[in-house]
Structure 1
Amino acid sequence: MGIADRWGLRAWLRAPGSLSKRLAATGARFEVQVLRQTTAPLRPQERAALGLPRRGLTVVREVLLRVDGQPLVWARSAVHGDSLKGPWKALKGLGSRPLGHLLYDDPRIHRSELQPRRVTRHGATHAQMQRQWREATGTEAPAGMQWSRNSVFRRHGKLLRVMELFAPAVAERHPGPLRLKRRRR
């Protein structure tokens, strides 16, 4: 990966706001391909981020985000099942609509800071992504697909974790202007 590619990917990892809207702005057609929405065990990072006990129903949604047919992001969201009866109940009927539409249209939802993270090549997340990528596209996932960004959304005290794993090709697209935080004086 060249220096320009690294800087391009770094911009995506730090880009605030809706990833779906940013991706959609880079092409003519944006789509969400739902790979799976089911109950599943939480992974250690999800459990820590959501502060959940070892037991309980957890709903996981895994998707591919495509622009003009090209898969660019594999994403996984996780929420405790109890939250589906309350503040996150809209997740049940989301279908192939972007999760971002739900997260950024409600001023009561607050997002944590973005946390870029390298996904281990031999971990459960990487294996799941590879398997689903192959099934959805008929090709292997890009070898350099290892950088993700993670964040937690809070609404009425209930948490939703989102992890977005970027294909290297996303670095060829521009995420749009980054809003810099202004320092308070």
Structure 2
Amino acid sequence: MRPSRRCRATPSTRPSAAQCWQLNGAPQNWAESSAEVGIATRDSLRDWLHAPGSLSRRLARLGQRFEVQVLRQGVAPFRALERAALGLPPRGLTVVREVILRVDGQPLVWARSAVHQRATTGPWRALKGLGSKPLAHLLYDDYRIHRSELQPRRVSRHGHTRRHAERQWLAATGQPPSAQMLWSRNSVFSRSGAQLRVMELFDPALARHRPG
């Protein structure tokens, strides 16, 4: 990149191109600049990818109205990553719940939870009656539930998960998601020996905010 002509050098002090870039006020932190132009990098979303506790409660602090828009809840075949995370056999069915989390009407997160079908008649039976309540109502008020370490993951732009989320996002909001909506985090919640996997895919707009 060429230095701006506004960057003047004297014979005794000739700034480098990088120094001219700094003198002209360009952001030096890529996380800051990427947030401004809507490009989501792991660094720009780092605070969200690693924020402990309830994501719903953190999002709710960003605005006046927090909403959970339920896109689908029902039985579906296992996906490979879910099967591996839940330690399940190659065959079987999961109960999945897919939602969009909104703040003041703006969609910010696409999320999918998956649990073995048998667990919905046991430790995770409350999942069936959750409706449009945040999943946090089940996960963070029960001392018997333990959470794994958060695992950030960049989804494939043309992979099944991203394409599925894109179709649902478009149908629910009337707009396609940002092409840079690629960073997610995954974790597994355990209760009485049964596991629930949660995946959360972040809109780049969140890079402009700190977790509440």
TM-score, normalized by length of structure 2? Answer: 0.81
> Separation in 2 of the partners of 1:158 and 1:35?
24
In structure 2, what is the equivalent of residue 107 of structure 1? Answer: 143
Give the match for residue 198 of structure 2: 162
User: Pick from 154, 158, 161: which aligns with 1:122?
Assistant: 158
Q: How many residues align?
A: 176
Q: Deviation digits for residues 18-43 of structure 1, max 9, x if unmatched?
A: 00000001110000000000111121
**Which residue does the alignment assign to 2:52?**
16
2:111 — aligned with what? Answer: 75
Give me the whole-angstrom Cα distance separating, in 2, the residues matched to 1:42 and 1:168.
Answer: 28
Contact 1:8 1:173 in 2 (8 A): no
Alignment RMSD: 1.2
Letter in 1 for 2:71: L
Question: What residue ranges of structure 1 are gaps of 5+ in the alignment?
Answer: 177-185
Provide structure 2 residue ranges, at least 5 long, that are not aligned to the other structure.
1-28, 36-40
In 1, Cα distance between equivalents of 2:188 and 2:174: 31
Q: Give the TM-score normalised by the residue count of structure 1.
A: 0.92
**Distance apart, 1:8 and its partner CA:** 4.2
After TM superposition, list the pairs within 5 Å mapping 1:14-163 onto structure 2. Answer: 14-163=50-199
> Contact between 2:78 and 2:93, CA under 8 Å: does it hold in 1?
no
Deviations 1:66-125 (A, max 9, x none): 000000000000000110011100000000000011100101000000000000011110
> 1-side partners of 2:67 and 2:44: how far apart?
22
Paired amino acid for 2:93: L
Bigger Rg over Cα = 2
CA positional deviation for 1:57: 2.4
Deviation, 1:54, is 1.8
> Following the alignment from structure 1 to structure 2, what is the Cα–Cα distance between the partners of residues 88 and 45?
20
